[in-house]
Amino acid sequence: MSESSAPNLPLDIATVKGFLDPLEGVALYQAAMDMSPLGLCVEIGSYCGKSTVYLGAACQKTGGTLVAIDHHRGSEENQPGEEYFDPDLDDGVGGMSSLTLFRDTIKRAGLEDTVVPVLASSAMAAKIITSDLAFVFIDGGHSLPAAMADYRNWGVRVMQGVYWPSMTSFPTPPTADAHRMTSINWRCIQAYLPTSRR
Ligand SMILES: C[S@@+](CC[C@H](N)C(=O)[O-])C[C@H]1O[C@@H](n2cnc3c(N)ncnc32)[C@H](O)[C@@H]1O
């Protein structure tokens, strides 16, 4: 994946808080360009909307739709006192919320006609979104149980999946899940980076 294939994004992506490397964003954009004409795209874990902009911009271009799932209460590492807590997102009642900035990002990017925000946990959303999916990007909870729950809830009915590696140890699908996922193509997002950046 080269930086020269970077898309023209509808806003300056550096103005959006988040953790996505630009090269990884380009990978997401290209995957969504390929897959969104085939069906619904889903993102689990939007935070302030950085990955949503890459995925949503591609979906908008192809006429596709992106469902962006996040309870916007942050992952384990985003909580007050944890390493990746951002004081700008302090909700004033002991937690954090990325919802306001996420909505602002989607509006600024002109993606409100393409991105369907779902304010719910991944597990709850999986109960109501029951159709087959073209593409899923998993970047929600990074603990082993959270990551495995996302694999299990979303893995079986997606054509192509991309996941974010855990800061500790993101799982590869264990044997019990492997047979369920043989029909799909799951890749760690870092597989798209130049070797020197992995
Ligand atoms: C690492 S951040 C996502 C970063 C984002 N993709 C970006 O490009 O900046 C993880 C997000 O997942 C959300 N999250 C964590 N566990 C979740 C769950 N079980 N269901 C829904 N969202 C979850 C958090 O609220 C947080 O916003």
| Coil/strand/helix, residue 40 | coil
Asked whether the predicted pLDDT for residue 94 surpasses 90, the reply is yes
- Dihedral, CA of residue 14, residue 162, residue 132 and residue 108, to nearest 10: 0
Asked whether the predicted pLDDT for residue 58 surpasses 50, the reply is yes
User: Which residue's C-alpha comes closest to atom 11 of ligand 1?
Assistant: 45
Q: How buried is 103 (Cβ within 10 angstroms: 0-12 exposed, 13-18 middle, 19+ buried)?
A: middle
Taking the C-alpha atoms of residue 120 and residue 137, their distance in angstroms, rounded to an integer, is 16
| pLDDT recorded at residue 197 | 57
Asked whether the predicted pLDDT for residue 21 surpasses 70, the reply is yes
Using a 6 Å cutoff on CB, does residue 74 contact ligand 1?
yes
Using a 6 Å cutoff on CB, does residue 71 contact ligand 1?
yes
Task: Average the pLDDT over each of 1-5, 87-91, 109-113, 121-125 and give the range with the smallest value.
Answer: 1-5
Q: From the CA of 166, how far away is ligand 1's center (Å)?
A: 12
Taking the C-alpha atoms of residue 71 and residue 157, their distance in angstroms, rounded to an integer, is 22
At 46, the pLDDT band (50, 70, 90 cuts) reads: very high
Helix ranges, the chain (H): 22-35, 50-62, 99-108, 122-128, 144-154, 175-178
Q: What amino acid positions are annotated as catalytic residues?
A: 142
| pLDDT recorded at residue 1 | 46
Q: From the CA of 159, how far away is ligand 1's center (Å)?
A: 22
Asked whether the predicted pLDDT for residue 95 surpasses 90, the reply is yes
Residue 103 has φ and ψ, to the nearest 5°, of -60, -40
Mean pLDDT, the chain, whole residue set: 85
| pLDDT recorded at residue 194 | 60
Q: Which residue has the tokens 């899923």?
A: 136
Q: From the CA of 182, how far away is ligand 1's center (Å)?
A: 26
Whole-structure pTM value: 0.89
> 23, 71, 98, 102: which to mutate for ligand 1, most atoms within 8 A of CB?
71
Task: Average the pLDDT over each of 28-37, 89-98, 131-140, 170-179 and give the range with the smallest value.
Answer: 170-179
130-182 confidence digits (pLDDT tens): 988 999 998 898 877 887 788 888 877 787 777 765 433 444 555 555 545 55
Q: From the CA of 169, how far away is ligand 1's center (Å)?
A: 17
Using a 6 Å cutoff on CB, does residue 98 contact ligand 1?
yes
